[in-house]
Structure 1
Amino acid sequence: MAREVARSTQALRVTLKKLPRPLDWYSATLLLGIKLADADKTLADITRLGLLYLFSLSGLHVFYVVKTLRHLLKLLRLPRWLEILVILGVLPVYVILGGASASLVRAVWMCWLKLATSRIKGVHLKLATIWAVVLLLELWRYPALFYQLGAQLSYLLTLVIITSKTSSNWLFNLKLNAFSAPLVLYYTYQWNFLTFLITGWMNLIFEYIILPVTFIGAVIPFLQNLAAQILQLISTGLTLLARAPSNFVFGRPPLIMVLLWLGVLLWLQGSSKKLRWSALLGISYFLTFLLLRYPLSSEIVYFDIGQGDCTLIRERFSRRVILIDTGGKVHFAMPNWKKRPTKTSGETIVANYLLSKGITQIDQLYLTHQDADHVGNFPSLSRSIKINQMIVPAGMEDLPSFKRRLAKSTVAPKAVKGVTDKVSLSDPHLKLLHPFTRGQGTNADSLVLWLDFYGLKCIFTGDLDRKGELAIIKKYPDLTATVLKTGHHGSKTATDPKFVRQLAPKVAIISAGRHNRYGHPNKETLVTLQDAKVSYYVTAKVGMIKLTEMLGHFSFWDLKDN
């Protein structure tokens, strides 16, 4: 039986996937509550406009399913009790075939309980009670589901709708926006100023055009193309609105603030002091925004970017934001049919972290050399985060491979600067130690940066080899560093024992991917660090490593015992 259900579910998904675009995406999302792999663009536009709550409430289409069933059963002249009994039997089957998504389960079981209890004398359950019962059942069945934004919005906004006493459409839309804002900010870190202006219209378009057109297009074959064209017009309109310069990056508020905001909003539902508490709510948003965008602490973040390098340096109050390398992936040639639209780790890891901290621009991006695992992500990163200046080892700016990447980015060629150690940097706390001459952007030409981080000395060496390391300590015989970012991901081609002895670091950071095919970090490098009594941390083992400074106190975060 279970196998037959699984086959039926899969067959239904395959059938919907064959529908013309974008009817396939709308049908899969609204009718089954699943997301197709190639629908990220549509979902990104909806999220950017703050309209994700509409699709979290996609169970509204259950209303159309039940209504259609009742019309069909009336044609058969069945008695009302038998009509309801048939619907009660069909709805659970629909949940199973639909993949049991959060919004679908919520809508179906709320409808099922309402119909079932309506046939019991003396039992009149309120919608809020039914909502609570379904919520408890789902928490028991699949608690991990509620880590998802869609599930959280689905249940929260359903509660708001069934308990709302607001008759004004304007106030009702304001309420929906107010309740969705804390969760949307927590998961996406941004808000769109157009959201409130278009919410009212989108509610009508969603209920009277998107849902019916999707439902009709999915079940009536000869209307599929027409339905797809209508939905394409709507999608195009959403894309145009999403591109408008109306998005505001807030940052990720602390979870305690999200819970506080939601608690206050729920309390305001029945409070008479709405104006005073609304003002306090607004002030708390503003203060949270200030602390996110202009933090009191400084930080150095060594990203867990896989087999690559990427490091963030951020001064308190965001006075200066510097990124050293962006990570990236080496791509091997493959036929077009194997290629899939995927986001880079520059978007999913680096940009995601920066936006969560309210960072919208990078003052300087230092690319240590041309290898893809150090520079491959900068084009995709530049589309999310503005890059004011890009600094590369002299000679690399003229390479055809670099120019091709630059053309795919939003960075202007005039913002790129090739440097050697003879160039003075604008940041007095940051010194450029290498390269000595123009090169070709190879490992041997890597930028080497030395940072005075509030008295803590840090060095970043790119993929510089041992020969280059020895040349640096020969030129700078007094050079020391407390924190060493080891060269070339812990390869034995770098981290020369003489280099380590002169620097005398207390801590070494090794950026390497889990189970990488190069065997990084090399055992020889680890022995070198152990002999010099240097504690080391590998991103492949401990994940992202964060060094923070506040009022002269330093802390390592996100570390496990090595």
Structure 2
Amino acid sequence: MRDDLVQLGIFHLFSVSGLHLFALLAGLIWLTDRLRIPKEAAEWALIALLPLLPLLLGGGAGIVRAVWLSEIRLVTARMRLPLSRLDGFSLVLMGNLALQPYILHTFGGQLTYLLAGALYLLPPGPRLKLNLQLGLIGLPVILAHTFRFHLLQVLFNWLLVPVFELAVMPLVLVTLIFPDGPWTGPLERGLQLGEQSLHALTTLPGDVIFGAVPTGLAVLGVGVVLLSLARRQKRWLIGWLVAAWLVANVHPQWRVTLFDVGQGDAILIEAPFKQAAVLVDTGGRGFGTVREPPAKRAIVNYLHARGLNHLDILVLTHADADHVGDAGLLTQLMPVRRLVTTTLAANHRYILAAKAGQVVSHTPLLAPATLTVGPLKLKVVAPESADAKEKNADSLVLYGKIDKYFWLLRGTRTGRWGARSRH
């Protein structure tokens, strides 16, 4: 579900999550008032109990910020201290930095304090306009960490954040405290339906793979967006977006990247100016499963960071799990224009799983065919026939010139990193 929220750009749920806490506190104070519990006693009880909430809801940056902002507001009101809302926000930020000095080096920490601080500075206005402004302010940080944004994310935040903040989150909190309530079953079914609906939304067009924006440029971007909103100068924002896109997407050199996928291989070949992107093998989970396999955590994230929204060719050298076991996962996450395998491996379950993803065409190859895409030409050296008795003997071997070097890419373990020479 978190992956779906990230793809849709609904970052307010993580960054400004905690706004539901203020609604919950207001509801509790209203309830204690109706029960004729003295307001002073109710507020002192909340002051005592609030620090326990991160233990129930998790210690995320958004929750910690919201809890301590609520704590400061209640204490300020009770003791009549002359603190403004911005003063309280600054105290919470300084306290969080004292306890977690690297909080502003994390994605959640950066967004929660940036967007929550912006809420204090932005003038009041329609909620849709406010969502648009928050989306623009957070955009440089989002691009620096996720390398993508959704064209409909402002609309998604406008529609869905109130549902989460004012309904789902408070109900989940109440369920944590009273797990046997009659609402638990309907809430669980509602959450499952909501998760299915969110996943369906990810199929809508509008997901833009932008590429990685360097940290310094992202910090500059936040300043540019704030100045653009303050002075209503759109051209500054447009200028920053153009500069950021050029930095993230203009790659004038050849590049060969070797991914750490454990025992198997995963080698990405990039031609200058995105003329070709070829991945040889994907790695796999032949020796156990992990929550974030390298095909998702490393390969797809890296492709997005390079501004690549598809692969021109995916070469699966042979049907061993440690080389192509995650090919099915990769083609679910990344469109592939052409899948290349040997003739013998074409009907293996790992290859069929890859073909079931976002694959346009599949080409079985044997030597002496030539694999050509853009300026890249790789000759198929082996296998010469489809009568191999075991998978390693059926492995594709590719040879060709990449930039100034000649590379021999062998899928079998004896040549796991390939070889290169000038001759």
TM-score by length of 1: 0.68
1:197-256 C-alpha deviation (Å, 9 max, x unpaired)? 333222443344334444455555012223334434433332221221221111111111
Equivalent residue, structure 1, for 2:226: 266
**Letter of the 2:410 counterpart:** T
Equivalent residue, structure 2, for 1:239: 199
Change (3 A) 1:360 1:151: same
Alpha-carbon distance between aligned partners in 1 of 2:58 and 2:159, rounded to the nearest angstrom: 30
Alpha-carbon distance between aligned partners in 2 of 1:464 and 1:79, rounded to the nearest angstrom: 74
Alpha-carbon distance between aligned partners in 2 of 1:311 and 1:215, rounded to the nearest angstrom: 46
For the Cα contact (< 8 Å) 1:432–1:450, is it kept in 2?
A: yes
Tell me the percent identity.
26
Offset, 1:141: 0.4
For the Cα contact (< 8 Å) 1:216–1:223, is it kept in 2?
A: no
Equivalent residue, structure 2, for 1:223: 183
- Work out whether 1:280 is the aligned partner of 2:228: no
Equivalent residue, structure 1, for 2:99: 141
1:437 to 382, 385, 394: 385
For the Cα contact (< 8 Å) 1:346–1:377, is it kept in 2?
A: yes
2:334 to 352, 376, 385: 385
Alpha-carbon distance between aligned partners in 1 of 2:167 and 2:21, rounded to the nearest angstrom: 15
Alpha-carbon distance between aligned partners in 2 of 1:403 and 1:266, rounded to the nearest angstrom: 49
- Work out whether 1:91 is the aligned partner of 2:50: yes
Offset, 1:158: 0.9
Equivalent residue, structure 2, for 1:131: 89
Equivalent residue, structure 1, for 2:310: 361
2:60 to 101, 125, 139: 101
**Letter of the 1:127 counterpart:** R
Equivalent residue, structure 2, for 1:418: 364
Offset, 1:352: 1.1
2:147 to 189, 200, 207: 189
For the Cα contact (< 8 Å) 2:253–2:272, is it kept in 1?
A: yes
Offset, 1:73: 4.4
Alignment of 1:521-532 (within 5 A): none
**Letter of the 1:147 counterpart:** H
Equivalent residue, structure 1, for 2:7: 48
1:62 to 10, 21, 24: 21
Alignment of 1:33-44 (within 5 A): 42-44=1-3
Q: Secondary structure at the match of 2:370?
A: coil
Change (3 A) 1:217 1:341: farther
Offset, 1:381: 0.7
1:250-305 C-alpha deviation (Å, 9 max, x unpaired)? 11111111101111223345x43x22xx2122122123224433422221101111
Change (3 A) 1:261 1:488: closer
Alpha-carbon distance between aligned partners in 2 of 1:179 and 1:320, rounded to the nearest angstrom: 34
Alpha-carbon distance between aligned partners in 2 of 1:229 and 1:77, rounded to the nearest angstrom: 36
For the Cα contact (< 8 Å) 2:319–2:351, is it kept in 1?
A: no
Alpha-carbon distance between aligned partners in 1 of 2:351 and 2:371, rounded to the nearest angstrom: 23
Equivalent residue, structure 2, for 1:554: none
Alignment of 1:359-508 (within 5 A): 359-398=308-347, 400-406=348-354, 408-411=356-359, 415-427=361-373, 429-440=377-388, 442-463=391-412, 487-488=415-416, 505=421
1:6-55 C-alpha deviation (Å, 9 max, x unpaired)? xxxxxxxxxxxxxxxxxxxxxxxxxxxxxxxxxxxx11121111112123
Equivalent residue, structure 2, for 1:112: 71
1:286-342 C-alpha deviation (Å, 9 max, x unpaired)? 23224433422221101111111011110111001111111112156xxxxxxx883
Alpha-carbon distance between aligned partners in 2 of 1:455 and 1:199, rounded to the nearest angstrom: 49
Alpha-carbon distance between aligned partners in 2 of 1:96 and 1:374, rounded to the nearest angstrom: 42
For the Cα contact (< 8 Å) 2:327–2:350, is it kept in 1?
A: no
Alpha-carbon distance between aligned partners in 1 of 2:171 and 2:398, rounded to the nearest angstrom: 58
Alpha-carbon distance between aligned partners in 2 of 1:127 and 1:89, rounded to the nearest angstrom: 21
Alpha-carbon distance between aligned partners in 1 of 2:379 and 2:290, rounded to the nearest angstrom: 39
Offset, 1:445: 3.0
Equivalent residue, structure 2, for 1:37: none
Structure with larger Rg? 1
Alpha-carbon distance between aligned partners in 1 of 2:191 and 2:382, rounded to the nearest angstrom: 55
2:130 to 146, 152, 172: 172
Alpha-carbon distance between aligned partners in 2 of 1:249 and 1:281, rounded to the nearest angstrom: 19
1:358-399 C-alpha deviation (Å, 9 max, x unpaired)? 11111122222221111112111111211111222342224x
Alpha-carbon distance between aligned partners in 2 of 1:367 and 1:188, rounded to the nearest angstrom: 27
Alpha-carbon distance between aligned partners in 2 of 1:299 and 1:76, rounded to the nearest angstrom: 69
**Letter of the 1:372 counterpart:** A
- Work out whether 1:304 is the aligned partner of 2:260: yes
Alpha-carbon distance between aligned partners in 1 of 2:253 and 2:416, rounded to the nearest angstrom: 30
Q: Secondary structure at the match of 1:119?
A: helix
Offset, 1:168: 2.9
Offset, 1:464: 6.6
Alpha-carbon distance between aligned partners in 2 of 1:309 and 1:403, rounded to the nearest angstrom: 16
- Work out whether 1:206 is the aligned partner of 2:164: yes
Alpha-carbon distance between aligned partners in 1 of 2:416 and 2:387, rounded to the nearest angstrom: 18
1:82-127 C-alpha deviation (Å, 9 max, x unpaired)? 4332221111233345443322211111111122122335x32111
Q: Secondary structure at the match of 1:421?
A: coil
Alpha-carbon distance between aligned partners in 1 of 2:272 and 2:91, rounded to the nearest angstrom: 47
Q: Which runs of 5 or more residues in structure 2 are unaligned?
A: none
Alpha-carbon distance between aligned partners in 1 of 2:285 and 2:56, rounded to the nearest angstrom: 38
Offset, 1:488: 4.3
**Letter of the 2:46 counterpart:** I
**Letter of the 2:345 counterpart:** M
TM-score by length of 2: 0.89
Change (3 A) 1:148 1:309: same
For the Cα contact (< 8 Å) 2:327–2:351, is it kept in 1?
A: no
For the Cα contact (< 8 Å) 1:193–1:246, is it kept in 2?
A: yes
Alpha-carbon distance between aligned partners in 2 of 1:95 and 1:363, rounded to the nearest angstrom: 46
Change (3 A) 1:455 1:250: same
Q: Calculate the aligned-residue CA RMSD, in Å.
A: 2.7
1:527-555 C-alpha deviation (Å, 9 max, x unpaired)? xxxxxxxxxxxxxxxxxxxxxxxxxxxxx
Alpha-carbon distance between aligned partners in 1 of 2:385 and 2:311, rounded to the nearest angstrom: 26
Offset, 1:80: 4.2
Alpha-carbon distance between aligned partners in 2 of 1:433 and 1:407, rounded to the nearest angstrom: 24
